[in-house]
Amino acid sequence: MSKNKFNVLWSKIAERDLISIIEYILKDNKSNAKKIYDSIKKASLELNSFPERGRIVPELEYFFIINYREIIIKSWRIIYRTEGNNVYILAVLDSRRNIEDILLKRLLV
């Protein structure tokens, strides 16, 4: 049985988010920065087989916005949406930040 494959595409903002995270971690621990980078990229690429596995973003669901999902890798949240055969990675955020404000500013503009 063949699976549908989705294209996983990163937005410029999500790429900048990831670079900022890795640059911050690099200051203290180079090997940990590489592990985190690899974990985030691997998890995002795995969405090509089953993008619906992520949960609906709770902060957005509260506002009845249910077309954004997330997967969590350690303390980072990978926010994405699926459209057709594409999975768009929209943000990579530290879960200790005020996610609601960030998402509402970015996704509802």
Distance (Å) of CA 4 to CA 28, 47, 48, 49, 86: 40, 11, 8, 7, 11
Over residues 10-49, the pLDDT tens digits come to: 999 999 999 999 999 999 999 999 999 999 999 999 999 9
The confidence score (pLDDT) of residue 2 equals 40
What percent of the chain stands above pLDDT 90? Answer: 68
Domains located in the chain, CATH noted: 7-107 (3.30.2310.20)
Considering the entire predicted model, what is its pTM?
A: 0.84
